[in-house]
């Protein structure tokens, strides 16, 4: 079930597509693979799962957040929500996410 590489571009596209279906778009994107590795490709002789963290924000009403989270749980990519913070502003709510995804080394 786990891919053999992170494929950061595909991860961003997948999450942005899910957000788009909920009427939101990701902003302030931050990517980091486990132990600061770049690319996330397996090295010779390594095995087991690797992890990559991604941070981003989305903005919109609470019902859109619920829809986004429901779609994220149904995604074929294994994604754990590590943290979620909510900030209220004049233009509505802003949600800051930290998520983790996994691959096989």
* Predicted confidence (pLDDT) per residue in 70-93, tens digit: 999 988 888 899 999 999 988 789
pLDDT the model gives residue 44: 54
pLDDT the model gives residue 50: 80
Per-residue pLDDT tens listing for the chain (105 residues): 676 777 788 888 999 999 999 999 899 999 886 654 444 454 555 677 888 899 999 999 999 999 999 999 988 888 899 999 999 988 789 999 999 988 877
Which residues are within 8 A (CB) of 53 and not within 5 positions of it... i.e. 6 or more apart?
31, 32, 33, 82, 98, 99, 100
pLDDT the model gives residue 57: 94
CA-nearest of 105, 86, 104, 88 to 96 is: 86
């Amino acid at each position: 079930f786990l891919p053999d590489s992170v494929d950061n571009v595909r991860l961003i596209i997948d999450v942005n597509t899910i957000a788009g279906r909920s009427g939101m778009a990701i902003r302030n994107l931050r990517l980091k693979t486990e132990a600061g590795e770049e690319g996330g490709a397996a090295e010779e002789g390594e095995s087991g799962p690797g992890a990559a963290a991604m941070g981003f924000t989305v903005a919109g009403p609470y019902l859109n957040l619920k829809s986004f989270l429901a779609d994220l749980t149904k995604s074929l990519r294994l994604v754990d929500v590590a943290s979620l913070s909510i900030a209220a502003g004049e233009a509505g709510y802003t949600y800051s996410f930290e998520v983790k995804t996994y691959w096989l080394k």
